Structure 1
Amino acid sequence: MSQTLRFGDRSAAVRDLQRKLNTNGAELFVDGDFGDETEKAVRAYQLKVGLVVDGKAGEKTLGALANSDCTRLLRNVTLVVGAARLGVELAVIYAVNEVESAGSGFLVNGKPKILFERHVMHKRLALPRTEGDDQAALLRHADQLASQFPALVNIKPGGYIGGVAEHQRLAQARMIDPVCANESASWGAFQIMGYHAPRLGYASVDEFVQLMCLDENQQFEAFIRFIEADSNLLKALKGKKWAAFAKGYNGPAYARNLYDVKLERAYEQHANCGCGQEAA
């Protein structure tokens, strides 16, 4: 993973960044000091090419400077439109994107980031879906599968492998039940669970998965729909109630992971810079 260069850094990597920015229209003194002017130049470049304007030279910005394909990356205009749609400050959306997305919605092999939840798989297998379904029989079947494939079906969470290997777990779960498997994974940069698809207005979980595989803008669209569908989360975002939002979005472990603190700090940084307001 590429190093993220930011305000205050001093290194040979910053000098290289400054040189590349200069070839793209900046007029920086190449001294290896990531100060105000370098941050402004990074923001100007990000705005020019359509990337999220955060003033940090991370994997995406450095990749763009190296002429990498940026077609699947989250666009700045997507965040601007999303903020207007929710009726929140753009700095709020910038903060949530920074903290919750972990920087990217895709793995190095091009597949979307996922996390397969075996306990959700058990619940989805046991869920009656049509009139006449025998709930007791479904539960017995789910329990039987749990005894045979505990890494894929279980009443307890766990069994995570992480990264690309999560797609191997998903592929194995799809052999048991493809719909339940897709419902039992969280998808993309914002880790929206597949079983939310109908509630968020998708025709099916299959359509949801197809869109999550397209690009980060579709993944952000799923996040926006998720917030729109939860009045408490939307209220927390509008009021910048970081603890309430973090608890609702990340669960009770939010405090241990300091999500609320990270969100507040990220918001203050973006609000204070006054940048990234342009819908470019």
Structure 2
Amino acid sequence: MTQLLSNGSRGLAVRNLQAALALAGFKIEVDGDFGDATEAVVRAYQRKVGLVDDGVAGPKTQAALKGFDTSRYLKRKDLQQAADRLGVPLASVMAVNQVESRGEGFAANGRPVILFERHVMHERLQAHGITERTADNLAQQFPALVNRKSGGYVGGPAEHQRLAQAQQLIHESAALESASWGLFQIMGYHWERLGYMDAQHFADTMALSEAAQLDAFVCFIETDPALHKALKARNWKAFAKGYNGKNYAKNLYDVKLARAYAQFAGEHAQEQAA
């Protein structure tokens, strides 16, 4: 797993990062200390290659430095297009991307990141005309795949195995609708609201790129007037509650969003003044 390097990081991994940036043509001191100067160079490199310039050297930045294909990664221009479409500052979208996204839209095996929700499967089966009694019977047979209670997670790429089992053994469309997909973990059952032809079309689109996953997120905001209004007003409490539910405060989502927005807005102001 690639180490996430940011301001304050120290050690060999930082030294290797700095050396790679130097080889990429940037003037940087290779001292193993990720300070403001290194962060500025990381941002410059991210802008040069089109990645989101957040100054954090995560898997995407480090993959780009190694010469790997980054075509499916989220780019700064994608965030700018999303901001324009939503009618909000770029800093707002960058803040939401930093706080609300998983950081990566694809697992190491190239598949979109998902989380299969067995309790949602119990609900979606009924939405597809299967009786509650039958859903309960299926839950007795396949408790890891259908259940009244959440849980049963295995994490990572193995979640696709749970999804495949649910598709093959129980109900294909309900299974696709019962997983959350991509960077922003949009639930599959939103496919119709977001304008996709069906659950399979939604899943196929999520496998295209992080930009496609961002587009689903933008549609999610656009089709929720209260959420869209909160984002435009930078009412981070209302936005966090609408996006994460009533327990948003436990994870300080509103505080993290406000801080991230202030950071990115300040950086953009400095860029314009320079």
Q: CA contact under 8 A between 1:190 and 1:220: conserved in structure 2?
A: yes
Question: Does residue 8 in structure 1 map to residue 8 in structure 2?
Answer: yes
Give the match's secondary structure for 2:251.
Answer: coil
Partner of 1:256: 250
Q: CA contact under 8 A between 1:116 and 1:166: conserved in structure 2?
A: yes
Question: Does residue 268 in structure 1 map to residue 262 in structure 2?
Answer: yes
Q: CA contact under 8 A between 1:82 and 1:224: conserved in structure 2?
A: yes
Cα distance in 2 for partners of 1:153, 1:62 equals 39
Cα pair distance change 1:200/1:209, threshold 3 Å: same
Question: Does residue 144 in structure 1 map to residue 145 in structure 2?
Answer: no
Which among 123, 134, 157 is matched to residue 164 of structure 1? 157
Partner of 1:25: 25
1:112-134 superposed Cα distances (whole Å, 9 cap, x missing partner): 11111111111111125xxxxxx
Query: TM-score scaled to structure 2, two decimals?
Result: 0.93
Cα pair distance change 1:275/1:188, threshold 3 Å: farther
Which moved further from structure 2: 259-268 or 137-146? 137-146
1:67-88 superposed Cα distances (whole Å, 9 cap, x missing partner): 1221111111100100010011
Cα distance in 1 for partners of 2:271, 2:243 equals 25
Aligned residues: 271
Aligned ranges for residues 16-95 of structure 1 at < 5 Å? 16-95=16-95
For residue 37 of structure 1, report the CA deviation from its aligned partner. 2.9
Q: CA contact under 8 A between 1:106 and 1:113: conserved in structure 2?
A: yes
Cα distance in 1 for partners of 2:144, 2:19 equals 50
Q: CA contact under 8 A between 1:47 and 1:276: conserved in structure 2?
A: no
Greater relative contact order (Cα < 8 A, sep 6+): 1
Cα distance in 2 for partners of 1:31, 1:172 equals 50
For residue 276 of structure 1, report the CA deviation from its aligned partner. 10
Partner of 2:166: 173
Cα distance in 1 for partners of 2:57, 2:154 equals 29
Gaps in structure 1 of 5+ consecutive residues: 129-134
For residue 242 of structure 1, report the CA deviation from its aligned partner. 1.3
User: Percent identical across equivalent pairs?
Assistant: 58
Cα distance in 2 for partners of 1:158, 1:269 equals 36
Cα distance in 1 for partners of 2:96, 2:8 equals 23
Aligned ranges for residues 90-109 of structure 1 at < 5 Å? 90-109=90-109
